[in-house]
A and B are shown apart, each in its own frame.
Chain A
């Protein structure tokens, strides 16, 4: 909340503080928690990329898994089969899914409501079916395991097999992506997105080319979902066709709904909360999906605007 809507110095202060805390984590947390936090950051990025298309433009896409999975393969395949470096892999993990999103979006944004939901599921299903079948390229459901070469930044070489270095890289990229999205949703472009969400007809009558804006949002969301997939694969050193399955998109949906759709802090908070909940409850009962589903359903019924929306409503 602090991060999202205060004016003036509050935001840089809160953001800097949080970044400093997260940057200090490796000094007091062991490798397990560094890995865990890396994972949370990756899924948080996936969640905000979904939130751009759902929370800001109002289109429920269950197809983000397609771009997530593609982003993973865009890192793994060039490293494994073409001998490219980690840096070009990460660039491809934005570019390739964004290109696919342009294709998928070109058709999908013509539809609205539930038809849009279903067409995105179908595109993701085609992706996972092809991914599972094209074994020579993707390794199917078994996936691809690889060694990540060091990332050459010019001034320094980052060892991508090191857990702490990977954590810092992921932290930096997720923080930059967050700032990028934050800037965007507050720009005139972001206002158009929100206008479309609130009343598509009105936005069209004012003169905005609604389809083009939807497509633009879909491509940006696809690219960032891909980046999340690329970072996930880079941290696990593993990519699999199972990442492409439409139900993987459910993660982003759950985190966004629980945290608060239409805010950027909400989905990130949701990712952190739900993943921590899963992590601690898995020892108690072997039924994490039970908790996730129950939290999702009760949020929808009790606080449909999510945690952040609920808190904001209280403050007003």
Chain B
């Protein structure tokens, strides 16, 4: 029991940190562009699929971890420049548009990648003993990488000029324009950054879950839950919420059926939406 609980807690933290990266990307895009990006789960999936190809070609997971997110970043760049830019000021239209993009991306992957789920071998095969069980080292490495990326993001937002611009646009868009901040460029790089974060977590998740074209669909909803509960536009609220929700879900699943846990977390989200639409950590 103790070992089961320990594994559930560890898994909850590892998965929570991956989810936090996804939610950060979604929330970053929402906070700046006010776009609910329905294609975010598809970008996460695309990252995992690209990494599978890179690993097939080179056999190197770490190379995939660098290349795949950049490739998805390019996709994000094309989507923002080509499609979303003209409709950025209409929230409902962008929801529908990104829903269409999601359909297209999923179908493209289904056509070229196929409908069967594929596995990626653990790049670090070792295990460490945990009570009477063995825990894969790779998962701990994944959690560490996630945490490191979040640290890097924090530095980027708080210590660089672009980060300052981004925070300025979130705070007061008109004033930012008046001060000469190139708002449309900031939008563009924010969307790219969000796409890269989604893809990066897709590559990180790939050795844990299997890679298939529908893997982003349920993740998208989880990411929504996290962003809303943590507060839309509140990045660090998302991180805390991601870890807490994953822990509750992981530990809860030992005691109740997973679907019951899902229904309860969805019900909780409705409650948050109605009572505190600004999120639990919002002002």
Q: List chain A positions with a Cβ less than 8 A from chain B.
A: 60, 107, 110-111, 113-115, 117-119, 121-123, 125-126, 129-130, 132-133, 247, 250, 253-254, 257, 285-290, 292-294, 296-297, 300-301, 304
Contact B221 A294 (CB under 8 A): no
Say which one of B3-11, B126-134, B240-248, B255-263 lies at the interface with A.
Answer: B255-263
Q: List chain B positions with a Cβ less than 8 A from chain A.
A: 36, 83, 86-87, 91-93, 95-97, 99-104, 106-108, 110-111, 217, 221, 224, 228, 257, 259-260, 262-263, 266-267, 269-270, 273-274, 277
Contact A114 B103 (CB under 8 A): no
Q: Of the candidates A60, A119, A132, which one forms a contact with B273 in the assembled complex, judged by CB atoms under 8 Å apart?
A: A119
Contact A126 B259 (CB under 8 A): no
A160 to B83, CA, bound (A): 46
Contact A118 B102 (CB under 8 A): no
Q: Of the candidates B102, B217, B267, B273, which one forms a contact with A115 in the assembled complex, judged by CB atoms under 8 Å apart?
A: B273
Residues of chain B lying within 8 A (CB to CB) of residue A132: 259
Write the nearest CB–CB distance from B94 to chain A, whole angstroms.
Answer: 9
10 nearest A-B pairs in the assembled complex, by CB-CB distance: A293-B103, A296-B100, A293-B104, A289-B107, A290-B107, A297-B100, A293-B100, A133-B259, A289-B103, A287-B107
Contact A129 B262 (CB under 8 A): yes
Write the nearest CB–CB distance from A112 to chain B, whole angstroms.
Answer: 10
A-B contact pairs, 7 of them (CB 8 A): A117-B95, A119-B270, A126-B266, A129-B262, A133-B259, A294-B104, A296-B103
A125 to B101, CA, bound (A): 21
Q: Of the candidates B92, B96, B270, which one forms a contact with A296 in the assembled complex, judged by CB atoms under 8 Å apart?
A: B96
Q: Who on chain A is nearest to B97 by CB?
A: A300
Write the nearest CB–CB distance from A103 to chain B, whole angstroms.
Answer: 12
A254 to B96, CA, bound (A): 8
Q: Who on chain A is nearest to B105 by CB?
A: A293
Would A117 and B36 be within 8 Å (CB), given that A111-B274, A300-B97, A301-B86 are in contact? yes
A125 to B265, CA, bound (A): 11
Residues of chain A lying within 8 A (CB to CB) of residue B87: 300-301, 304
Residues of chain A lying within 8 A (CB to CB) of residue B262: 125, 129
Contact A290 B103 (CB under 8 A): yes
Would A60 and B95 be within 8 Å (CB), given that A290-B111, A297-B101 are in contact? yes
Write the nearest CB–CB distance from A108 to chain B, whole angstroms.
Answer: 9
A257 to B100, CA, bound (A): 11
Give the interface centre of A114, A247, A301 by most chain B CB atoms within 10 Å.
A114
Contact B269 A122 (CB under 8 A): yes
Contact A301 B83 (CB under 8 A): yes
Write the nearest CB–CB distance from B235 to chain A, whole angstroms.
Answer: 18
Given contacts A119-B273, A132-B259, 19 further A-B contacts (CB under 8 A): A60-B92, A111-B273, A123-B270, A125-B221, A126-B267, A129-B262, A250-B99, A287-B107, A288-B107, A289-B104, A289-B107, A290-B103, A290-B107, A293-B100, A297-B101, A300-B87, A300-B97, A304-B87, A304-B93
Q: Of the candidates A60, A247, A300, which one forms a contact with B100 in the assembled complex, judged by CB atoms under 8 Å apart?
A: A300
Contact A122 B83 (CB under 8 A): no
Residues of chain A lying within 8 A (CB to CB) of residue B221: 121, 125
A253 to B95, CA, bound (A): 11
Write the nearest CB–CB distance from A244 to chain B, whole angstroms.
Answer: 13
Contact A125 B266 (CB under 8 A): yes
Residues of chain B lying within 8 A (CB to CB) of residue A110: 274
A252 to B101, CA, bound (A): 16
A304 to B89, CA, bound (A): 14
